[in-house]
Amino acid sequence: MSKNTVKPALTPKPRKRSKREVENPEFDAFVRRILRAYARRVAVGDVEALQSLSQLSSEVDAVTRLAVAGLRKAPYSYSWSEIADRLGVSKQAAQMRYGDRTDRGALDRRLLQTGLGVSVATLVQVFADHHPGSPAASVCPGCGYRYPDGVCDCPTTATVRPLLRRRRHEDDDAVARLSPVQFADLLTTKSRSPRATAVRQAAFTALIPDRPASLFDLSGKDSAS
């Protein structure tokens, strides 16, 4: 074996490629381009991929929850008010949707705190925070409750809808803050699946466990106006 006669001092070391830091706005734009490209690929006839594409919304919700969890921890320790402000929702809605897993799908704290004394303004805000939207999302935007097939009510919405429908004339200004889609859904008396009825009944029991259910018309029917 021949002896290595190359002098290390005369042989330049290979340069290490500097790591390029990608700013979050650039990364955000990159992700959006990927999503649009994916949609275009599905649009040219790949109907089987449509389901996978639609399920990305659930993935976004899951990774947003991870991001929020990181922002809540030290050394950042952002408050729920600060996080809710960036998400464009109320503090309670942000906390219920992205907080501890045991809170997801639980009855909104604003209802538990006020009980029978809940105001129409609070009912309106809670209903708006938990409304599934149009088209309906796969999970509740207010608490993260995953809707079963054929159901677009989380326990909170199932509880609030009949109460707010009956009491809407008590505060016209508060009700006017609902979007047209939310208001139309509030007045809808379409029959709901047995699963939806069970969710509504269970939610009502959690709200007022020591009162008879006959206090309110849980069938969703309006009293004569």
Residue 17 confidence class, pLDDT cut points 50, 70, 90: low
Q: What value does the mean pLDDT take over residues 202-210? A: 49
Say whether pTM exceeds 0.85.
no
Domain chopping of the chain, boundaries? 109-215
**141 preceded by cis ω (within 30°)?**
no
- For the stretch 99-144, pLDDT in tens is 876 666 677 878 877 776 889 999 999 999 889 888 888 888 888 8
pLDDT higher at 188 or 207: 188
Three-state secondary structure of the chain: CCCCCCCHHHCCCCCCCCCCCCCHHHHHHHHHHHHHHHHHHHHCCCHHHHHHHHCHHHHHHHHHHHHHHHHHCCCCCCCHHHHHHHHCCCHHHHHHHHCCHHHCCCCCHHHHHHHHHCCHHHHHHHHHHHCCCCCCCCECCCCCCECCCCCCCCHHHHHHHHHHHHHHHHCHHHHCCCCHHHHHHHHCCCCCCHHHHHHHHHHHHHHCCCCCHHHCCCCCCCCCC
pLDDT higher at 7 or 107: 107
Phi, psi of 139 (to 5 degrees): -130, 155
What does the pLDDT read at residue 19?
61
